[in-house]
Amino acid sequence: MQDFVQHLINGISLGSIYALIALGYTMVYGILKMINFAHSDVYMVGAFAAYYVARWMGIDAQPGIGTLILLLCVSMVFCSILGLLIERLAYRPLRNSPKLNILITAIGVSLLLEYGGQVVFGADPKVFPEVMKDFVIFSAGGIELKSFDVTVLIVSILAMLGLQFLIYKTKIGKAMRAVSSNPGVASLMGVNPDRVIAFTFVVGSALAGVGSVLVGMKYPKIDPLMGMMIGLKAFVAAVLGGIGSVGGAVIGALIMGLSEEMVVAYLSSTYRDALAFGILIVILIFKPAGILGKYSVEKV
């Protein structure tokens, strides 16, 4: 029982990170009905931005709350700018093109960032700066609650609550929901769809930036291909919860994190990455719309 509770804590922490990245996928899909495969590589760029800024400012050996906040801000800014550039230069010119064209472009941008990252940052893995000291906050009966897990959970919850407030309590959030529902009608009501879509990319990319720092803090090794597997898992989490649903992305990510942790604990770590593919196959067969997704009929 003690081991189970410990794995439960670890799974929730991992699922929280997946949720931050899955929200980027689901937000873009909710607005444009497209999968932004470059999103996971925006997350990678955020990690390297935080790494180089930490070294440049000399704070890579000064762990603490201030360092965490600074690197979160740096990563969010860099990821937001990159997300905005991708939307403006790669996706907006293809807005009215066939979906297949946009899909191929998304894959192309992803490959450009991955292998461009190897040229710019180098192919060798790098050790992420020590953001905070990891220590045991609570221990009872063999169960340990560490500072990293608490920090990941708190930062993730704050980011998700901020997103929830943005979507449902602000004017731009109302515009996002209007464009998601019907871009044509929203534009007739005075909403600028291009501006709303660009803002959606900025917000989704910023969340990926938050996730990149949390991953670097918890698993301190980064490389230009680090976004491939975690991006796949976050995408599966978004599909599991119902692609296009913010709440569904969070639920799917938590299920994904818990499932992965339990597989590693009670089966074998070799099945860790295969789990994502297995879950995706099961979803597509039995519930393609996901947990909170809705079926829709398209006229052709």
Task: Report domain extents, the chain.
Answer: 2-236
pLDDT digits over 97-152, tens only? Answer: 888 888 899 999 999 999 999 999 998 999 998 888 878 787 777 777 888 888 99
Q: CA-to-CA distance for 225 and 125, rounded, in angstroms?
A: 9
Query: Can you name the residues that pair with 145 across neighbouring β-strands?
Result: 138
Higher pLDDT, 62 or 241: 241
If one counts every other C-beta atom within 10 angstroms of the C-beta of residue 170, the result is 11
SS3 143: strand
Give me the pLDDT at residue 63, please.
Answer: 82
Structure tokens at 210: 């938050």
Tell me which residue of 162, 148, 130, 216 sits closest to 9, measured CA to CA.
148
SS3 107: helix
Q: Does residue 297 surpass a pLDDT of 70? A: no
Tell me which residue of 54, 41, 53, 56 sits closest to 117, measured CA to CA.
41
Segment 229-240 mean pLDDT = 89
Whether 13 contacts 152, CB under 8 Å: yes
pLDDT digits over 18-63, tens only? Answer: 999 999 899 888 888 888 989 999 999 999 999 999 999 888 778 8
Instruction: With both helix axes pointing from N to C terminus, report the angle between 171-181 and 2-32 in degrees, rounded to the nearest 10.
Output: 70
- Phi and psi, residue 244, nearest 5°: 105, -15
Share of the chain above pLDDT 90, in %: 44
Dihedral over alpha carbons 272, 277, 281, 287 (to 10 degrees): 70
For 57-78, b where at least 16 C-beta lie within 10 A, e where not — what string? eebbeebeeebbebbbbbbbbb
Q: Does residue 280 surpass a pLDDT of 90? A: no
Whether 209 contacts 51, CB under 8 Å: no
**Whole-prediction pTM:** 0.90
Residues 6+ apart with CB under 8 A from 82: 42, 45, 205
Q: CA-to-CA distance for 126 and 122, rounded, in angstroms?
A: 9
Q: How would you class 158 by CB atoms within 10 Å of its CB: exposed for 0-12, middle for 13-18, buried for 19 or more?
A: exposed
